[in-house]
Every structure is written in structure tokens, then in C-alpha cells.
């Protein structure tokens, strides 16, 4: 073996090592794979689906209504949809979402989806929401499968803080026949 072969070997090896390090850094700091467990986001996401999560979106952009997010509550990871934003009064009456007393259509839900009625006071203690609005840095999140979702409507879950939201779900990668961007 001559010096040129050794040099080429280390050059090739360094390319593989650099590629591996870059890919590892991307998955540590930029994106994550998230398998979906449970049925709380049906029909948008189903158990066994795998999605990509942007870990840095909310460092540069605001959390918006209808964003699908991954979050941590009581040490468990969940995927939910953001429905209520800070400063808003949210309520469901007769299966209609009202934001600050204005009806809002949830176009992502099938027409026959039923959401049990509730008001912000039902999910937010008076000392947390003294003015009847979602406080700064808090969000109301719901699963798309409303009858079977553990979400902001439950006492153990409640409103979630911005630091509980770990990233924005933006792309479904599995199964391949349902591959695509998520809204």
C-alpha cells in the first residue's frame, strides 16, 4: 500500500464521518421523527404514522392556530392541534367553535365531528385566567378525534405553556401511501 492509497482512504473516511456528524446534528437540533401512538388525531394522523417535527420553527415563528404540534405533558409526548391562542376567549357551544364570540370553522375536521361543549372557564382555573382569556404563553390544544382525545379539556392536561411545545409537525413520512405535508 502506498502513501496515495492511505491518503485517499482517509479522505474518503473523513467525508463519511463529516456526513454522519451533519446528519446527527440535524436530527439532534433541527428535526425529529415522531411515531404517532393512539387515535387522538384521527383522521389527520393515525396510530403507526410517522411524522417529521421541526424543533426550531417556534424559535423564529409564532405558534399559530391549527398548527399540529408535539408537546410534553407530565413526562409524556403528545401530538395535538393548537386551537386557542394567548389573549383569546375560546368556547364550544352546540359543536361550534367560538373565538372571542365569533364562530370559527375548523375546515380540517370531517363534517360529522362532534366536540363536547365547554368554555374557557371549564379548562382554565380562575386564578390562571382572571380576565376570561387564555394567558400569555399558554395555548389550548385539542386532538382532531374529539371524542377520544386527552387534551386541554381534561383536568390533568389543561392549557399548555409555550415551553411544553417541543416542535411543529410538518410532514407525514409513513406510511408511504399517505406521504405528504401537514397543515
Strands 118-119, 138-142: pairing kind: unpaired
Write down the catalytic residue from 7, 54, 77, 80. 80
Under DSSP, the state recorded for 20 is: H
Write down the catalytic residue from 40, 54, 57, 149. 40
Tell the residue number behind the cell numbers 392549557, with chain if given. 159
Sign of CA dihedral 157, 161, 167, 168: positive
Which residue in 168, 179, 139 sits closest to 30, CA to CA? 168
Coil, strand or helix at 22: helix
Cis before 175 (ω within 30): yes
Tell the residue number behind the cell numbers 500500500, with chain if given. 1
Cell numbers placing 37: 401512538
Integer Cα distance of 181 and 170 in angstroms: 6
| Catalytic residue check, 40 | yes
Which residue in 162, 159, 168 sits closest to 124, CA to CA? 159
| Catalytic residue check, 149 | no
Catalytic residue numbers read 40, 80
Amino acid at each position: 500500500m502506498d502513501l496515495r492509497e492511505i491518503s485517499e482512504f482517509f479522505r474518503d473516511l473523513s467525508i463519511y464521518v463529516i456526513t454522519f456528524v451533519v446528519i446527527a446534528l440535524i436530527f439532534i437540533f433541527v428535526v425529529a421523527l415522531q411515531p404517532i401512538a393512539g387515535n387522538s388525531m384521527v383522521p389527520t394522523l393515525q396510530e403507526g404514522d410517522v411524522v417529521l417535527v421541526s424543533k426550531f420553527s417556534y424559535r423564529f415563528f409564532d405558534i399559530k392556530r391549527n398548527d399540529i404540534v408535539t408537546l410534553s405533558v407530565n413526562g409524556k409526548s403528545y401530538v395535538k392541534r393548537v386551537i386557542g391562542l394567548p389573549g383569546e376567549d375560546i368556547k364550544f357551544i352546540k359543536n361550534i367553535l367560538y373565538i372571542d364570540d365569533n364562530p370559527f370553522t375548523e375546515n380540517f375536521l370531517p363534517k360529522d365531528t362532534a366536540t363536547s361543549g365547554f368554555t374557557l372557564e371549564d379548562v382554565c382555573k380562575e386564578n390562571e385566567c382572571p380576565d376570561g382569556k387564555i394567558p400569555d404563553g399558554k395555548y389550548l390544544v385539542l386532538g382532531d378525534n374529539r371524542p377520544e382525545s386527552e387534551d386541554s379539556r381534561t383536568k390533568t392536561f389543561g392549557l399548555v405553556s409555550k415551553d411544553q411545545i417541543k416542535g411543529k409537525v410538518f410532514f407525514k413520512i409513513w406510511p408511504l401511501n399517505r406521504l405528504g405535508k401537514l397543515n
